[in-house]
Structure formats: C-alpha cells, structure tokens
Chain A
Amino acid sequence: MDLFDKIAGLPGLHEQIVAAGSDPFGVCMDKMCSATEAIIQGRNVVLAGTNNYLGLTFDQDCVDAAHDALDRLGTGTTGSRIANGTYSEHRRLEDDIASFFGFASSMVFPTGYQANLGVISALAGPGDYILLDADCHACIYDGCRMTGATVIRFRHNCPEDLDKRLKRLDSKDTNKLIIVEGLYSMFGDIAPLAEFAEVKRRHKAYLYVDEAHSVGVFGEKGRGVAEHAGVLDDVDFVVGTFSKSLGSIGGFCASDHPKFPFLRFASRPYMFTASLSPSNVASVTTALGRLRSDPGLQETLWRNAHALYDRLSAFGLTLAAPPSPIIAVKIATQEQAVMYWNKLLQAGVYVNLAIPPGTPNSSSLLRCSASAAHTPEQIDWIAEAFGQVAEEMHAYEAQNAGRYLLRQSAE
C-alpha cells in the first residue's frame, strides 16, 4: 500500500490514450507564433483550442503596457495584498472592473480558479444553502467544499428544477446562494439567466454568476450573459477571469453589496496568496480598456464563430449547442475522439480533447474555440481539416463495421 494507490488506475488510462499518437493532455507549444498559431512537433499549427476569444494575447498595446509595468514596477509583488501591500495599479484595475459592471466594488485574485474559491468560501458557511448548476466548473465545486454549507446540485440550465429544490427549503430560515455560469466551457451553451433571476427573486436567494467564458463575448458592452439577458441588476456577485478574453491570468469578483469589500478579511484564498504581478495587472487593465472601447472585436469574434460553426455543421458533425465562440463537436466514443484529435493535429489544427469524467453526460468532445484574431483563411484551414478528418474517420468506421459484420457471419 502506498500514497499513490488512489491514482493507481491513471497510468493505464494515460497509456491507452497516448497509444493513439500524441498526448492530448500534454501538448507542448514549441513556439508561439501569434494569438492563433504555434509550432507543435515541428509543424505550423492553427490554434482552435484556446480561450483567446478576443485574440488580445499579442495585442501591441497590451504587450507594451506589460513591458512598461515590468520596467517601472518589477517582476513580482513577492507577497499578499493583506500582508505585503497593494500596488495602486491593483486598486485601479479593481475600480475599472467595478465601473465596467456598474457595481460598487470588485476584488481581484491571482487566477480565476482562486476567484471562485475565494469568494464562495468567504460568502457561504455552515447553516447556509448553496444551489449549484450540475455542470458548474470544478473550481466552483471546490469552492463549495470549503464552505461547510449544505450544497445541493440542480439540473443543468433548468430553472424549474432549481425552483423545485428551493421550494423544499422554503420552510427553512436560511441563506440561499444560487451559483451558475454564463457560458459553459465544454458544450458552449448559455444559461437561461432571465428565468434563473425570476426564480431567485421569488425565493429571495442570492445569485452568483461566473462569466469566465462570456466576458467580452456576450452583452452589448461585453459584460457577459447576464447583460445579454438584461438581468445584470439581479446578479449579486459576478465572477470572471483574466485568462480568456482579457489575455492574461487572474480572476475577479464584482458586487454591489455594501459589505462585499470586507470579504478581503475573510477570504483565505485572497489573503494567503501573492498578489497579481504588475505586468499582468497592466496588460489586463489595457485589455479591459480595449474591450470597452472597441466593439469591433466582439463583432469579428462572432463572425468567425458563425463561419466555423456553419462549416462544421455542413459536414454533418454533431455540435453540442447553438452557435457561440465555443463549438463542441460530439464524438460517439472516447477512442474515436482520441483518433480524431490526433488526425486534426497532424492536419495542422489544435483543438481540445474533452473526455469523461471531465465532461457532462459522459460525452467525448472535440472542443473548438473561435477567436477574433482568426483570419478568414485560418477559419477555412480549421474547417478543411475537420472535413478531411471526418471523411477519414467515416472510412475507418465503415471498414470497422465491415470487419464486425464479417466476424459475425463467420461466427
């Protein structure tokens, strides 16, 4: 018996997946060429598996702002906001985020993961109830585990199911915190936030929305799905990340609640970690400025998303949700998904492989994401590769089915 017994099955599973070619969970970009291209295994590859929705990672203004901050403020803060001080740049970014959402205040965290851990663990405690959408991200689940609150899952994107579960709590005098996401990262489906907001009002609950994938993507001003649904005022806590549309790393939470700023003294993942590095803060501040001043970025993103979606759907591929910048292709089995993924990489396209238990409903997915930085030629390249691989896979499956029939008739 040893410590590693609990993961004893993993080497075998990993070997099984790697046997089909490359390691989908250990891809190394030998060189990043731009927001949408990299060299992988000596090959020029178009990246369709990032979360770089607005394509800002190589934006000249953002890069310049980061350089300038490095020169002026150094490489790191070497400590936590509480113990070692806040830089005025942290505070400015927090003010910018609060004003972007029209809320009174915000807090920033070193990652999006920590933003969810930090806010959920500080907000809820023993005696409170958390109702979370079944398909919420792992960091939301992890945050809930830190609270000591009673945690109840409701069916994904189902306001009726949430309502039913809240009714069971109506007789209890307790705090109820509803947690959902705006745009879900795996299938690319969006939450019915207007309906959730109505349920929230009726049961006098709090509403917490993680807009990690939807900031810069949904809403007239790019504030996410709640803005898109016209219910931003019903959201008590909006959480998000800097590592997707804003092209850096970090996370935030904004709220109108007058006592929200005091979470700084209650949130362990906020207090006991080093603060965001100055260059991160600078590039995010600049990226947020770009997002606010340039609606063309979102338009280009959606044009690319629709173009890719239409092309993939014309090949007869099964897409998991209506068009959005996250386009997930459902593949019948895990084995086929792994083969598909390898063939796409060989054809010069990188997408994300998602397999159970990391996916809802035990599905296997090839997850693509569109970026405002994709050129029409790159969208074409991605689509052509899918078309070619779909044909190869079709032939392979037909051959396999033929073999199966032959074997059956022999038996």
Chain B
Amino acid sequence: MLSAPRRRERLLALIVLAVLLFTPPLVLVADRAGTVSWLPLYLFLAWGLVIGLAAWLLEGPPGSTRRPRRE
C-alpha cells in the first residue's frame, strides 16, 4: 500500500515537472525546434502527459489502495 506521504511526494514532483514543462526555458526550446514553431504541439503533448500522470497518481497507481478516507 502506498502511504499518504509517498503520494504527496509524487504529487509534488509532478507539480514541479508541470511547472518546468510549461515555462520558458523548455518552451523556448520547443519554439525554436524547426522552421515552423512546434510550440502548440509541444504544449498539448506536455499537457496531456501531465494530466495522464495526475490521473494515474490520484486514481490509485498499481499496487496501492485508494486514498484512505479522511478522518
């Protein structure tokens, strides 16, 4: 069973990842990748990735139970 602190840590890591993906240094890289800007495509892919990871994490990753009921 995944303990609550572990889930918090993973969620925090996901937030850091999302911020990195959505902010300038990486955005600039995607923008200058080719002759035509790939920025929109990159943004949608990164967005989808973050949502997928969040869903996986919050709906209970394999080997864990659902978030226990709050006291």
Say whether A and B bind each other: no
Interface residues of A (CB under 8 A from B): none
